[in-house]
Structure 1
Amino acid sequence: MVFDRPSRFDFEAWAQACSPEFDASEHKWDWEGVFPYFKKSVTFTEPLPETARKYGYTWDMAYAYNGSTPIYSSFPPFLWADYTIMREAFQDAGVKAAAECAGGDKEGLCWMPISENPMTSRRSHAGLGHYAALPPRPNYHLLVRHQVVRVIYPNGIASGPPSVEVRSLDDGSFSNITAVAEVIISAGALHTPTILQRSGIGSRTFLESASIPVLQALPGVGANFHDHSGPGLNWNYTRPGNFTPMPSDMLDHAFAADAAAGFNETPARGPYTLGMSNSGIYLSLANMTTVHMSIVNKIRSMAAGDFAIHLPDDYKRDATLVAGYQRQLSVLADFYANPKAPSMETPWATGTRAVAIMLHPLSRGTVRINLTDSLSQPILDYRSGSNPIDFDLHLVHLKYLRRVLDTPTMRKYGAIETSPGLSAQSDDALREYIKDDMQFSYMHPCCTAAMFPRELGGVVGPDLRVYGLNSLRVVDISILPFLVSSHTSSTAYALGEKAADIIIASWTL
């Protein structure tokens, strides 16, 4: 439910990675090209003055917001009482509180909006805002309980728009839908590539192994798969203080009953309005370690050397994927060298665990259809940590959180590390702990139909059209070339708003 936004440097890196090939395009995907759509795509509601004073919320309405869509974000009217501990501890460690982190500058201690209706505190999402809340339209049809199987060009790829084959989830029957203008695939980073693969669009080697006729050879389909990941640090308090309210209060019948009643009031109040978290830090590599340039130089050396040994076998067989990954390594090295570009996120709401989420992994995996049942769930190979430099980054992040445990605020409450534990002092011991504790996915999969030059393994161009195919576009998180420094939902909405302008402007009906 976190509805934060990326750093401007995420999109500057995207533009850098696609230069010079996309420089002449009228569609710009740098920060200036996408920021207006972040503002447009959401209606942010300011908290009540008394709520802002109670929790210390800060924001900049004019700079970061001013949208008026039926997609809502807001700050919750409730926080657990111990949220202040981590906030004060990070400030002890020198992290500065940012007044607003949604305007492109994302380095420091951030208040993060959450995607909920400010009156009901129910989840705000496209199914409500862009469908259920709208009056009926004669040109808007939603076909439920059907699975998209593939797109079909019955008269060849140079012909008009493809038809779409769908399968009923009720009786298993198949039918075709014929488009008038074009087909837009928006099935997400896991299912967009599988629709393309079933259509014969993807790696020639893989499609032939699946006995699927090749419609268009685009090896980047289902490649470049990655996600946010990272380990955590756990501790106990020997002097925990007297904080109230706390999650343990939910065990009290009267407190729990009042929490449930409050959630059903208008406006809603109480613990159920919080969601997961709305506090977090975003720090660059340079602000966590004095050896950040040694890691940057290691990435640059890898880009100039035998980097392909860390890639999936599919990559090694395709020169465009190898070249594209080399370009990405060079760009990400510059990103990590930037003292204002976030390397790690640590969100929190309550409790005694802090996670160190790596925002820009170097490891790459694949998404493939299941060869035994192509209509079943795809086969995901995350390959987390397959690039060894990712563990160098995890190590920096974990060591930083360890230092935060030794701040005056944490000492005041008698914080004692429980895992990895004080016995794990060497880098080797910490690396083993990271392997055991790491969450390999924070549910932000991306980048499997990347907007990238075709000669570098790209799948779509800056106009969102699939290379070599008439009247077929992709609009979802799969088009990112690499992950952003945020949870991905706000980016999905911004991409959708920008895509709408691009697509509508191109129609000649």
Structure 2
Amino acid sequence: MPILSIDDVSEKSFDYIIIGGGTAGLALAARLSEDPHVSVLVLEAGKVHLNDSKIDMPVQYGATFGDPEYDWAFKTTKQKYSNDKEVPWPRGKGLGGSSNMNFYCWIKPPAEDIDAFEKLGNPGWNWAEYEKYSKKSETFHPPAQEQINLFPHTFDPNFRGTSGPIQVTIPPTVHTIDKLVQGTLVNKGIKVIKDPYGGDITGTWIASANLDPKSWSRSSSATAYLQPHLNRRNLGVLTGTLVSRIIVDDRLKDEELRVSGVEFLLEKDKYVVKANKEVILCAGAINSPKILELSGIGRPTILSNLGVDVKIDLPGVGENVQEHIFVGISYELNPETPHETFDLLADPVYAAKARELYALGKGLHRSSISSFSYLPLSAGNPVEAPIIADKIEAEIKERQEKGLLPPGLAEQLSLQISTLRDEASPDFELVAFPGFFTTISKPEAGKLYFSMFCMLNHPFSRGSIHATSKDPSVHPEIDPHYFESDIDLELLVQQFKFLRTFPDSEPWKSGVVREVDPGPKCQTDEEIRDYIKNNLTSTWHTAGSCSMLPREKQGVVDPKLKVYGTKNLRVADISIIPLHIAAHTQATAYVIGEKAADLIKMDNV
């Protein structure tokens, strides 16, 4: 163990079966298998992918996207409010899941976003608990002196973990871009955050990354939580398995249902593995609701269309979907300042040299995306901010009076409006990418660029993810309802217009030659709106499809992550997030995996 063959699994039994060897799933498996008296099996659809340079080496952004060896390659339906655009949703396939293919940004949310979980009916899901499990998941390595000499990196060790599996550091970043962006924001009156990992992220700061400074390789759930425990006799992993359903036993009187195992396909043959204690679904916000539906758990109309018998009427499955999105703006840099941006890697000679340097622990392949700013709506437009908040509040009140809001949604939207009005809470997210990231134009040889991302963190629109076939290989229908609530588009427009004020301030004024995309042809609000609709990109942070909410408010799991109506089935991935957070979701996925392990252990003493 732990890499098993089918003969080790088929018709065998394990105490815990974890569906999905991704970010949360492997964290959960490692923690549960700390008890040598229990057996743990992980079923993963993808391949092993350990010691794979395509994953491990940084600054290969998007290298695995669209590759079926690594990527589920999901795609949304045509988006009615975004010019019928279909948006790719890459997701990691293989041990490590999306922790293998994300941009390794290590970001934690503001405390109030996590406290909102508790306000929505989930005791024990608050910032204090989040911080405890977050520290448990990480080991922070302070930046080297050579980095501090280039840029004044700051941190507070009280906010950082010291003994967790995920290796985290402030990597050698493109400090010239950091100086340009951070300096401009400071000159525009934005507060500098000393360390954004203690619950206050509203301001501008340099992010950490989940990179191991000893090897400068990606620290993923596979390398951090699984690889060190390959000799555990009670932990097993079977790859290449496509789960077709969770086996739900027939109901006895009015008791909650018990799940007894998992049915899966391996090379088109069907097998069953039995669960002695629990099944935990960690397949991610796209596949977790699909698997529940294929197992007879969900909205009866959806199950009827699939030809699946209803085991548990649970209408919240696949609903309340919230997704972060962003749009990029690219800029040409003034060549008088020497920059070493990611564009240089397009030159084969430079790229070969960079790989040689990486083997020596040097060079650009140690870098990451570094400059982040989380700002309140009022920072971009103090005059219109309260007007925008009033408008959305009036729209929601009207929808509620007409009975157009699903159960529980009014409480979520009320919290979002409070955040929108709070000048200490972030709504904008601006990220600097040290390279060309837009698609209208092409970078010119010999020139250097960077891009700014305007990101939507608290979408008011709600989407859905539902199975469309009993065939488990068929992707579910993904409809995030982008911009169904116009306020989401308006918030991105406001960020865009705020960035357009940067050329009035130094060092931007001297350091940037021109805006390349969308450029001077895009000026009016309508032109900006159209640019956003045509060029929006998913941030790949889907949440809410198995929301942790009261059952009567379209909840799928309770605060112990148990699926309503079941004795021993849980969901433990970011699909359980009931209200989206102002953060990239990787660090939070580990928190969910870590906390889930303790919840399960307490219930199975």
The alignment's TM-score, normalised by the length of structure 1, stands at 0.90
Look up the match of 1:7.
110
Distance in 1 between residues matched to 2:450 and 2:136, nearest whole Å: 37
Moved more, 247-256 or 104-113: 247-256
Matching residue within 140, 154, 158 for 2:235: 140
Check conservation: 1:80, 1:246, Cα contact below 8 A: no
> Which of 10, 13, 17 is the matching residue for 2:120?
17
Q: Which runs of 5+ in 1 are unaligned?
A: 310-314
Distance (Å, rounded) in 2 between the aligned partners of 1:178 and 1:224:
31
The corresponding residue for 1:100 is 195
Q: Which residue of the other structure, out of 457, 463, 468, is the alignment partner of 1:359?
A: 457
Q: Which residue matches 1:269? A: 362
**Structure 1 residues 12-411: aligned runs within 5 Å:** 12-18=115-121, 22=122, 25=123, 28-61=124-157, 63-79=158-174, 81-156=176-251, 158=255, 161-170=258-267, 172-237=268-333, 239-247=334-342, 249-250=344-345, 255-265=350-360, 268-275=361-368, 277-290=369-382, 291-306=384-399, 322-350=406-434, 351-371=449-469, 373-411=471-509
SS in 1 for 2:244: strand
- 1:484 is matched with 581
1:286 positional shift = 2.0
Q: Does structure 1 retain, via aligned residues, the 8 Å contact 2:257–2:566? A: no
Deviation at 1:399, TM superposition (A): 0.9
Does the CA-based 8 Å contact 1:39-1:67 persist in structure 2? yes
Deviation, 1:349, is 3.8
May I ask how many residue pairs the two structures share in their alignment? 485
Instruction: Write the distance in 2 (CA, Å) between the matches of 1:155 and 1:486.
Output: 41
Is the alpha carbon distance of 1:49 and 1:178 closer, same or farther for their aligned partners in structure 2, counting shifts above 3 Å? same
State the distance in 1 between where 2:401 and 2:362 align: 53
Which AA in structure 2 matches 1:219? P
User: Partner of 2:482: helix, strand, or coil?
Assistant: coil
On the 8 A contact 1:232/1:356 being kept in 2, the answer is yes
**Are the counterparts in 1 of residues 173 and 370 from structure 2 also a CA contact under 8 Å?**
no
Provide, for residues 157-193 of structure 1, a one-character-per-residue CA deviation record: whole Å limited to 9, x for no partner: 74774133333332x1212222111111111101110
Q: Are the equivalent residues in 2 in contact too, given 1:405–1:415 (CA < 8 A)?
A: no
| Structure number having the greater strand percentage | 2
Secondary structure of the residue that 1:269 maps to in structure 2? coil
* Corresponding residue of 1:506: 603
TM-score between the two structures when normalised by the length of structure 2: 0.76
Deviation at 1:357, TM superposition (A): 0.3
Q: Distance in 1 between matches of 2:396 and 2:339?
A: 52
Deviation at 1:307, TM superposition (A): 5.8
Paired residues of 1:232 and 1:398 also in contact (CA < 8 A): no
Query: Does the aligned pair in 2 maintain the 1:367–1:381 contact within 8 Å?
Result: yes
CA apart distance, 1:308:
9.6
Cα distance in 1 for partners of 2:193, 2:310 equals 51
> 1:153 offset after TM fit, Å?
2.2
Specify the alignment match of 1:494 in structure 2.
Answer: 591
Distance in structure 2 (CA, Å) of the matches to 1:161 and 1:179: 10
- The structure-2 alpha-carbon separation of the partners of 1:413 and 1:138, relative to structure 1 and needing over 3 Å to count, comes to closer
Residue 390 (structure 1) shift: 0.9
**Residues 76, 412 of structure 1: CA spacing in aligned structure 2 closer, same or farther, 3 A cutoff?**
same
Identity of aligned residues (%): 29
CA contact (8 A) 2:181 2:371 kept: no
**Which one-letter code corresponds to 1:17 in the other structure?**
L
3-state SS in 1 of match to 2:408: helix
How many Å apart are 1:154 and its aligned residue? 2.7
Residue among 554, 579, 594 paired with 1:457: 554
Q: 1:459 to 1:67 in 2, by over 3 A?
A: farther
SS of aligned partner of 2:276:
coil
SS of the equivalent of 2:398 reads coil
Q: For residues 232 and 254 of structure 1, do their structure 2 counterparts lie closer, same or farther at Cα, with a shift above 3 Å needed?
A: closer
Distance 1:308 1:150 in 2: 40
| 2-structure distance, mates of 1:128, 1:418 | 39
Residues 430-477 of structure 1 deviation map (CA, whole Å, 9 limit, x = unaligned): 2222212222x1111111000011111110111111111111111110
1:185-207 CA-partner distances (Å, limit 9, x unpaired): 11110111011000111111111
Distance in 2, matches of 1:53 and 1:30, equals 37
